[in-house]
Structure 1
Amino acid sequence: MKQTLAADEFLDESRHGVLIDVRSPGEYRAGHIPGAESLPLFSDAERAEVGTIYTRVGRNEAVERGLEIVGPKMAGFVRTARTLAAGKTLYVYCWRGGMRSGSMAWLLRTAGMPAVVLEGGYRAYRRSFAGLLASKPWRMIVVGGFTGCGKSDVLRAMAERGEQVLDLEALANHKGSVFGALGQQEQPTTEEFINRIHHVFRSLDPSRTVWVEGESQTIGHVTVPVELFRMMQAAPLVLFSLDRAARLRRLVAEYGGFPADELAGAFGKIAKRLGDGYPRALQCLRAGRIEEAATVAMNYYDKCYTRSIGRENRSFTEFFMPEDDPARAAELLIERFADGVRPSPDAARPGKDERKTINRG
């Protein structure tokens, strides 16, 4: 067995073993390889102390201080690792694939456990994502459209039918708009968000279509990596549209149950851009007229999306659904677009109102 592996081979093989992150807890929280267990060699304070000694005094002194810190912990590391391993190989990484992971791997091997180190460490893992995107002929289709169409539900229905779906909003814990954080868990860091995307891509087949919802490059406070965002911009765009009344019903059902003060706070984030619509939305919320408040939000986002499509000057194929049925929409999208061939003009039937909205952009 090799004791050190490059990123791609390390990630492939580690699926059959146990990933061990020996960086400090703070480094782990900022971002880690999905599925990795945290077994930090140093605490955050200890790491800072050793780093300061290295910078101000020298390498030898830093190593000696590191050994003083780690020595009393060694038996505990072995016991914890043995429990995590359960007879499997341990795949160990630190930031650069240097002393921390090398020392831990040596200790684990000494204790009779097979251990493999990630060459170049977590930094090499991070860099490998751009290489993965660039090295494969990915087939991607972006599903865009106005707010309230239920695009996320449609993509989930597609995933249930065995299609390859990259659900960026689920990975970001955010639905994209200023209302997108409502009801969601805390967002990851951008670093961790990109790691989650990377993890999904490792499971995808580049010869099959990958469906992704059209998004801005920023989703809440996380950012889609540049390489992926460029792929999305270059991919075929299917502009999914739904009857306006159905969209409004969906928005009310999705957000109407949140407290009025939370909804008002979200409206406040776009108050200047709403103009007179902002006080009108607040008045509607206070009076319990949720549908009217949702109409203000929908009108605003429709204008934003129309302008966005116009600015990009991007070609697209329209796909209209006469009723809100994500399962049926998923079936039709797969049937008409999964092979990457654009449908005939008769296959996509945009609604009259939606067609006018798009053309005004």
Structure 2
Amino acid sequence: MAAKDKDRIVPLERIEEFDTIIDARSPSEFLEDHLPGAINLPVLDDTERRIVGTIYKQRSAFEARRLGAAWVAKNLARHLQERLQQYPPSWRPLVYCWRGGQRSGAFVTWLRLIGWPAAQLAGGYKTYRRWVLERLVDLPGRFAWRVLAGPTGSGKTRVLQALAQRGHQVLDLEALARHRGSILGTWPGGESQPSQKAFDTALVAALRRFNPQKPVFVEAESKRIGLLQLPDALHEAIRLAPMIVLDTPRECRMQLLLEDYAWMGDEPGSLARRLERFKGFVPNETLRRWQELALRRDLATLFAELIARHYDPLYRRSLARHPELGRAPRVRLTGLDPGALEVACREIEAWSSVSERLLQPSAVSARPPHAAP
């Protein structure tokens, strides 16, 4: 890199030196994924970017650049008059686009002409994405994982939240994925899941906050959470980690399901349509009955039958395929109140401490995590 570009074009490892990270890409690119904490100030919106790209391919690069330059100037002027009015002369922004090319370069040129010590991220988002994928390979193996397992509705997420409140390191995969992992695992209100790229970015951000000297608690998950895939290295690390099973009474599981899925009762038609996903797992007659229960808003009967006729049989089949799950230590969760959660957490803490003393790499048996499909 030329000496004159040393402070204008900077590598990824220097991003902490800057006050603000600006994503100069289009809104749809930003929505798919972006650097943590970045703000979106596009130099071309989605329509403008598409038109410029079409002209570049079908007519000429010159015409595309001429039109694009006019739109870039217009958009930069708007950003300077609106979002960037608040910053003092000492403000240090870092700008990136897809590959660290013309969009971020134009932005940085104008910011530096004004007097701000702006810089451009070398390689842009493409370099950052490559860095994320590399971290997803090397980070998971650095931590001592502790896995909570159990049938659907056993309270694994509630216990993880209680452990986090007690100061433990917790990776809540379902919160990051915006999905509970099961067939009816859609997030409350039908909130859509993030893109795979955004999920990966969130995972790396979470993993980098953990202390490798302390255990990390996580829920047993399958390879897929809704539409998203767990990275191979993370899935393997969880698969090989010590596991404890929550033993939760049926009435407590029902209470949890009715609390977590109460919002579905406000959308009976939508719930009935979601139940179509059980087609092939249960007889058609059973499926029709469940849909009728959904339309009548009878969630208590519906969830009781889902547990009895689908989720518990599924879990029993998992026990038959993986006997080590049946041999895992168990913790009784007698309720969802703070006192019951505290008792369960103390037992888990004691188990984790014993696992820390006894665990040897050669002693860890290969086993898959268990979750409802």
Q: Render the CA deviation track for 1:159-213: whole Å, top value 9, x for unaligned.
A: 1122221212112222222222252433222222222222222322233222221
2:192 to 180, 186, 206: 186
**2:50 pairs with 1:48:** yes
The answer to whether the 8 A contact 2:178-2:187 is kept is no
Instruction: State the match for 1:331 in structure 2.
Output: 346
Distance 1:135 1:48, change over 3 A: same
Matches within 5 A, 1:201-220: 201-220=207-226
1:73 to 72, 75, 92: 75
Structure 2 length normalisation: TM-score? 0.80
Instruction: State the match for 2:278 in structure 1.
Output: 270
Instruction: State the match for 1:296 in structure 2.
Output: 305
The answer to whether the 8 A contact 2:272-2:292 is kept is no
Secondary structure of the 1:305 match is helix
The answer to whether the 8 A contact 2:100-2:124 is kept is yes
2:100 to 80, 90, 97: 97
2:30 to 28, 31, 53: 28
Secondary structure of the 1:210 match is strand
The farther-off stretch of 333-342 and 200-209 is: 333-342
The answer to whether the 8 A contact 1:143-1:213 is kept is yes
Structure 1 unmatched runs, 5+: 345-357
Count residues in correspondence: 342
Question: How far apart are residue 114 of structure 1 and its match?
Answer: 2.2
The answer to whether the 8 A contact 1:157-1:326 is kept is yes
Matches within 5 A, 1:222-241: 222-241=228-247
The answer to whether the 8 A contact 2:43-2:76 is kept is no
The answer to whether the 8 A contact 1:209-1:339 is kept is no
Instruction: State the match for 2:173 in structure 1.
Output: 168
The farther-off stretch of 224-233 and 31-40 is: 224-233
Question: How far apart are residue 6 of structure 1 and its match?
Answer: 2.8
Distance 1:106 1:304, change over 3 A: farther
Distance 1:322 1:138, change over 3 A: closer
Distance 1:306 1:343 in 2: 29
Instruction: State the match for 2:133 in structure 1.
Output: 130
Distance 1:270 1:284 in 2: 14
2:241 corresponds to which letter in structure 1? A
Distance 1:26 1:146, change over 3 A: same
1:170 corresponds to which letter in structure 2? A
Distance 1:208 1:39 in 2: 39
Q: Render the CA deviation track for 1:78-114: whole Å, top value 9, x for unaligned.
A: 3345346465421211111122112211211211222
Question: How far apart are residue 220 of structure 1 and its match?
Answer: 2.5
Distance 1:99 1:224 in 2: 34
Question: How far apart are residue 307 of structure 1 and its match?
Answer: 3.4
2:106 corresponds to which letter in structure 1? S
Instruction: State the match for 1:38 in structure 2.
Output: 40
Distance 1:200 1:62, change over 3 A: same
The farther-off stretch of 93-102 and 206-215 is: 206-215
State percent identity of aligned pairs: 31
Distance 2:109 2:129 in 1: 24
Task: Report the RMSD for the aligned CA atoms in angstroms.
Answer: 3.0
Instruction: State the match for 1:243 in structure 2.
Output: 249
Distance 2:112 2:354 in 1: 49
Secondary structure of the 2:154 match is coil
1:120 corresponds to which letter in structure 2? G
The answer to whether the 8 A contact 1:22-1:38 is kept is yes
The answer to whether the 8 A contact 2:331-2:347 is kept is no
The answer to whether the 8 A contact 1:209-1:338 is kept is no
Instruction: State the match for 2:330 in structure 1.
Output: 319
The farther-off stretch of 283-292 and 234-243 is: 283-292
Structure 2 unmatched runs, 5+: 1-5, 360-369
Question: How far apart are residue 312 of structure 1 and its match?
Answer: 6.1
Instruction: State the match for 2:156 in structure 1.
Output: 151
Question: How far apart are residue 135 of structure 1 and its match?
Answer: 3.5
Instruction: State the match for 1:352 in structure 2.
Output: none
Secondary structure of the 2:99 match is coil
2:44 corresponds to which letter in structure 1? F
The answer to whether the 8 A contact 2:333-2:344 is kept is no
Distance 1:249 1:261 in 2: 23
Instruction: State the match for 1:200 in structure 2.
Output: 206
